[in-house]
Structure 1
């Protein structure tokens, strides 16, 4: 585990570096396309599809007078004399239109110019002019105006230049063209300002929102108007556009809406431009910086998703971003009439996803190859296949080999986990950094928490022991820990070949108890029981003692009783420590009363008074016989150490606070009391105090402690020299 951390850190650094490089390269591609317009054809294609989804309606103020095939058939071949146009204007003047906009160039002088000019003065008429390039004397262009008196009689003159997009389509119009000192307004702008004199000036460059294919605007034939076949209401208060639509007249332009119906005539193009201005529906192109911002935003959102999300979710995000880019462009076009070019952003998404996928695939292939080589070098993997089946791509073959290795590793890990779980002792597998890698159920139960990936210092601090397991694990070999529940654990260590340790906490409570009993038995045999036997032998060898047979017998009997008491006390203590403890319900109050009755001869012989206080019934849970003997030991000590004529007070009540859930028996005597040194070892075996007044074996209080602990109870003593002693014994309530 620790060996993999540096590798993982290097992998993350390389991953981040490649991710940043892919993002920067894609961003450069997006910037180049957005700022140079390299994807103009793609943007125009997308615009055409979106614009056709919601074309604007034609302005109701417009009507076209078309020089169509019928007019050519009735009025003769083109060009017509200007007297014919004068007759048209005279006819239109009767209908009082707002203006007549001619989309026909009058460049050469004619004998009928004065008649046409006179008719133009009867109705406001706008004429086109043209810009010829190159101009004379190195000028970039020259303006060609209609001859006088037509130019002077016109209500306005405007240029009708067209500029095609790179794909050869006509989509845009420049409402102001020319150059410094020679800027000229477009003919449609002149008509718009005549119809809307107070309207704000539109931008110089517009994208034309076409109302539909050829024939979308109301159109009447030139010949019909001259013949008086068109009611005057058709033209009243409207803008009348006059232009050629007949076959073979050449005034036609390729537009996105001219597909099936043929190219759009010049007069219909002018009608579309003027319609968008009148309705405020002109489309304003967003600058290249906006397209750049959209592209960079989409690219880096996708890069972030590919770095942080799963491949499937990253793909969904990429598709959503593509749809979102198109939706944003369509929404701005439909709602705000702003065209935000989406092609650079879409190109960025299309480049970033496969480029990053290729880099990740290459990194995955290299990683698989390195892992396969590393696993193949492990002796535990000696039986792995060396080559995959034939066929398939490189990554597929590597994945097959790695799958075989994973199956093998899973089997080994399952075997290890099962073997570890079968161990009865709490066992932890530590890595090189003293980090817990594995733990069995016994260890989790001991520390009462999840242990994986936690530091040993943190785990050891959770152990409920009398003293902490300080220091590194390697220094704890043979260390023993006593738990709060009385168990004793011993630390065992084993070094791992790959680094780290296997740490075992073996429960040696039974061994410690056996060792303690052995030591106690040795002490009993070598000292406590040997002493009275030696005294008997000394009496028998003493001639003075033999002179008094009755006194000798009495003293020998005393030593024999002491020997029997030592043996009996030791046997009872051993049984209490290692024998079974029954869990039964008994009356604690009855046991106290019975113990007092059993000791009645002793405390009666000393003239003692026994004051008892408590309930008539106190149901407890535990071993009744062991509890009775423990109560007898405590009450017997009180009788033994109380002065003649003294008082012993027994109180039985329910415990409170930390003693809640227990019956607490308190036995207070008026004996000499104990100092702090005596209290410290009071409940240890073979501890005797005030030897001049007691010939006990020193096992009674140790027996009481063992009985209390094994029944989940407690025993305590409160005493001071000259103040007597108060012993408290707790037993769980039933």
Structure 2
């Protein structure tokens, strides 16, 4: 089956991600440049303004021409003499600056003398500011300035234009505005100029200049928070009547303007509710409040705003492709919230107002668009996989239930189809895996370097490992498997020589088992895989050895004594005087007993090799004491003392007690036979690691190292030349080795010629 990358699926997916990213970034760039989402930007920015509102400056005071004043004085407009009187009342308290947000662009035709009274009041105040408005004259704009008499009497002039956005909310103003040749500062800046501040924009009461209408330095209003109105406000009628506390206006910035219903300009502002409007004089107060706090917020430069919107979109696109579905979703959510927070805090932290709506749209669209493309790619992948499975001809296993009908939409059908195919593959995998695991022979599957990738239960038991064999070097696991006539291992310890391994070879492990190792390489997806199987030939070799021993026993060992008896009988018949009957019977008895001993030893060895052991728990210390007691008579006959070291209180062991006692007795009997009179045979039992060790040491002639290899071969009598008087048929030690090895142990010999011999029987201790 071809991987998804080979059919171009992954490359197409990366290509689609690049195209989707470019399209989304182009969309964000267009939204940022066109201002299409300006209303959403205003919502975010207004929320940020409310969170970061300025406190109202206590030195700003509004004298409002409110409904109560209209009711007390009469309908608007009022006589300018009243305004002059108000100015005198305010000036008497020495304010820092006095601003009249009232247009005086025409002479008072009804009361011509009132203009002079007002001019004198303005001049005596010395800190009065009068407004300048813009008048639209069709194709051009002109200044609606105060009368020249009043203009010259004022200290400063300031424009009162406020920028109203398309949604009808006033959020900004230009710091300077007017005819191009001489721009007026905003009314709030003019108030600072009248208070004595030396600012670059101060123009005093200069006459209007010529040129087209111009404006510069757009500034975002940062409104004062709290209850509305936010500033200290007194009614016009109360100030006119002198009802204010003494010093209420001292060193204050006093603004006089209309707030009555239907009188003057009313604006919607971010800080006001939908049912409320802010009078023009209050807008001036908010602007003056920002000036006093030196909080100047301006729209961010176009390049910075573009980068601010593109950066979260790029990060969102990278997150969803690098971090995965869940982490990508969480990253997009964090980027969305972070963009909102940055846009809300930017005016306070940097003095720039940023539009965040394009970035919010980009981050919001990135995840669903990419999820849609991934879903489409997944559906396409499932379709390809199903086609590959159909072409591969995946056959059902025996007794497999019928497949359910596929329902739902296209993707769901493909998912169900792949689930069905995956279920069949899993069943097939389990079938193959279970078949391998239940093979009776140890089986290893290795890579080209000789590392195990799979091993069955029989292999796990063979190497006696309680851990996983995966990744282990097979040469190290089977290091104890060596050639039968040497110590060279059958497998190399490293995997570089795996190609040189013969297809089959025989060896012998540390427990004396004869094993046939079969090695078969095969190739899968260009990789060489080795299948190594071990076949236990021990029973077959034992049966073959028993057959050979039986033939040898029948043809030689049993035949020789019988032939000797027949020869004696023939000699007695022909020469009775040379062989008396008494000597004949003695010799026949000796040959008969020798044949009987050989037959008995052979039967015992054959039984130890072939019969099924009656395994049961027993005390090995007691078995050793029993064997020592049984050898007492033979020791007394040979004049040998048997000494047993202090035994453990208990030596639990598991096996066939009678055979183990016979093996101990054979070793002890050999030690007594070959020990000279007056010597000592020492027996001991100790625990060493996972084994019980029974040691029997004599003081006999010893065994040369070159002869020790034949000690345990049946019918081998190594002492015939050196001790011809010692009887034996050469089967005792063969039985010892057979019994010990079949119990999972081993026999060790420590000896050299002339210094005696020590035989050690190592039997495994039972697991706790």
C-alpha deviation, 1:362, in angstroms: 0.9
Counterpart for residue 737 of structure 2:
705
Moved more, 286-295 or 618-627: 286-295
- 1:570 to 1:313, Cα distance in 2 relative to 1, 3 A: same
Call closer, same or farther: CA 1:718–1:487 in 2, change over 3 Å. closer
Does residue 633 of structure 1 match 2:666? yes
- CA change 1:507–1:310 in 2 (3 A) is farther
Matched, 1:670 2:709: no
Q: What count of residue pairs does the alignment treat as equivalent?
A: 717
CA-CA distance at 1:532 after TM superposition: 4.9
Pairing 1:293-304 to 2, within 5 Å after superposition: 295=309, 298-299=312-313, 302-303=316-317
| Distance (Å, rounded) in 2 between the aligned partners of 1:481 and 1:177 | 106
Match of 2:223 among 209, 218, 223: 209
* Cα pair distance change 1:146/1:388, threshold 3 Å: farther
Report deviation, 1:361: 0.6
Q: CA contact under 8 A between 1:611 and 1:648: conserved in structure 2?
A: yes
1:322–1:349: 8 Å Cα contact kept in structure 2? yes
Q: Of 684, 693, 696, which residue of structure 2 is paired with 1:652?
A: 684
Task: Output the TM-score relative to the length of structure 2.
Answer: 0.77
5 Å-filtered alignment, 1:601-640, equals: 602-604=637-639, 609-610=640-641, 612-615=643-646, 619-620=650-651, 621=653, 622-640=655-673
CA contact (8 A) 1:611 1:649 kept: yes
Given the two structures, how large is their TM-score scaled by the length of structure 1? 0.80
Describe how 1:385-424 pairs up with structure 2 within 5 A: 389=406, 392-424=408-440
Helix, strand or coil for the counterpart of 1:637?
Answer: helix
Alpha-carbon offset, residue 125 of structure 1: 1.4
Residues 68-122 of structure 1: CA distance to partner in whole angstroms, max 9, x if unpaired?
5666677777666654433321121123322112334455688766543432233
Whether 2:92 is the aligned partner of 1:94: answer: yes
Aligned match for 2:619, one of 580, 585, 592: 585
Pair 1:276–1:389, CA change in 2 (3 A): same
Q: What secondary structure sits across from 1:599 in the alignment?
A: helix
Which of 711, 715, 724 matches 1:682? 711
Per-residue CA deviation, residues 252-300 of structure 1 (Å, 9 max, x unaligned), is 4443355633543322211122223335666566666665666556445
Change (3 A) 1:516 1:84: farther
Structure 1 partner of 2:57? 59
Give the stretch that moved more between structures: 303-312 or 82-91. Answer: 303-312
Flag the 1:654–1:408 CA change in 2: closer, same or farther, 3 A.
Answer: closer
Contact kept? 1:654, 1:660, Cα under 8 Å? no
* Cα distance between partner residues in 1 of 2:107 and 2:19: 68
Matched, 1:568 2:571: no
Please state how far the C-alpha of 1:483 moved relative to its aligned partner.
4.7
| Counterpart secondary structure, 1:240 | strand
Kept in 2: contact 1:388–1:397 (CA 8 A): no
Deviations 1:126-172 (A, max 9, x none): 23345789999xxx999886565544543333343433445453212
For each residue in 1:188-214, what CA deviation from the matched residue of structure 2 results, as whole angstroms up to 9, or x when unmatched?
13435666959999x973342354797
Deviation at 1:597, TM superposition (A): 1.6
- Per the alignment, do residues 214 and 303 of structure 1 end up closer, same or farther by CA in structure 2, a change over 3 Å counting? same
Cα offsets for 1:403-445 (capped at 9, x unmatched): 3333433444444455455444445567999987765444455
Output the CA distance in 1 between the equivalents of 2:450 and 2:764.
Answer: 42
**Structure 2 unaligned regions, length at least 5:** 202-216, 482-488
**Equivalent-residue separation in structure 2 for 1:720 and 1:560 (angstroms):** 35
Q: Distance in 1 between matches of 2:23 and 2:559?
A: 97
Structure 1 residues 648 and 61: CA distance shift in structure 2, 3 A: same
Is residue 131 of structure 2 the alignment partner of residue 128 of structure 1?
yes
Unaligned runs of 5+ in 1: none
Deviates further, 177-186 or 207-216: 177-186
Task: Provide the residue aligned with 1:244 in structure 2.
Answer: 258
What is the CA RMSD across the aligned residues, in angstroms? 4.8
Q: 1:296 to 1:553 in 2, by over 3 A?
A: farther
- Residue 274 of structure 2, aligned match among 257, 260, 271: 260
Shift of 1:596: 3.0
- The 5-angstrom pairing of residues 263-412 of structure 1 reads 263-279=277-293, 295=309, 298-299=312-313, 302-303=316-317, 305-307=319-321, 311=325, 314-330=328-344, 339-381=353-395, 389=406, 392-412=408-428
Contact 1:101 1:126 in 2 (8 A): yes
Render the CA deviation track for 1:666-710: whole Å, top value 9, x for unaligned.
Answer: 322231x33332123433434432432356433222222223334
